[in-house]
Every structure is written in C-alpha cells, then in structure tokens.
Amino acid sequence: MSFTVIAFTFLSMGAFAFLMWTMVQRQEKNDPKFEEKLAADDRRAKANRQAAGMESSQSSGQVGATSKPVQQQLSQEPPKPTL
C-alpha cells in the first residue's frame, strides 16, 4: 500500500470520528434529562456491583453488611423509560 492510501484512510477515519463526536455532543446538549439519565445509570451500575459483590461473598460463606444498601438503592431507582 502506498503512503497516500494509508494517510487518506487515517484522515477519513479521523473525520468520521469527529463528525460522530459532534453529533453525539449535539444530541446530549438538546436532551434536558440527560444528567438525570446518567445519574440513574450510575445508580443502577452501583447497585449491580454491590449485588455482584454480595453474591460472591455469600458463595464463599461470608454474608456481607452490604445487603441493606443494595435493597435500598434498588427501591429508589426511577422506572426505565419506554421507547
């Protein structure tokens, strides 16, 4: 392959990546509930990590004190939006 083909490939990939990045940024900027969605996603991820940790500690014979926070966290999550 020639140098120009490789350079053109990298430049076009970079241009495509920049275009996609700007489109995502514009979409996030126009979404007023985006921060709420991110926070809800973080809460779900934390609850899943804690639940996985609780399962692994129970399988090794240890019952952790993290079971109550996990249950409280799960009960505080907003319902998932339907598309």
The tokens 């921060």 sit on which residue?
Answer: 35
Q: What pLDDT, on the 0 to 100 scale, is given for residue 28?
A: 86
How many domains does the structure of the chain reveal?
A: 2
How far, in Å, CA of 6 to CA of 51, rounded? Answer: 47
Query: Which positions of the chain have pLDDT values less than 70?
Result: 60-79, 81, 83
How far, in Å, CA of 33 to CA of 70, rounded? Answer: 25
Alpha helices in the chain (DSSP H): 3-29, 34-59, 67-75
Q: What pLDDT, on the 0 to 100 scale, is given for residue 43?
A: 95
Do 24 and 40 lie in a common domain?
no
Do 11 and 44 lie in a common domain?
no
Q: What pLDDT, on the 0 to 100 scale, is given for residue 61?
A: 62
User: How many Å is the Cα radius of gyration of the chain?
Assistant: 22
Q: Is the pTM of this model over 0.75?
A: no
Q: Structural domain of residue 43, as residue ranges? A: 33-78
Q: What pLDDT, on the 0 to 100 scale, is given for residue 35?
A: 83
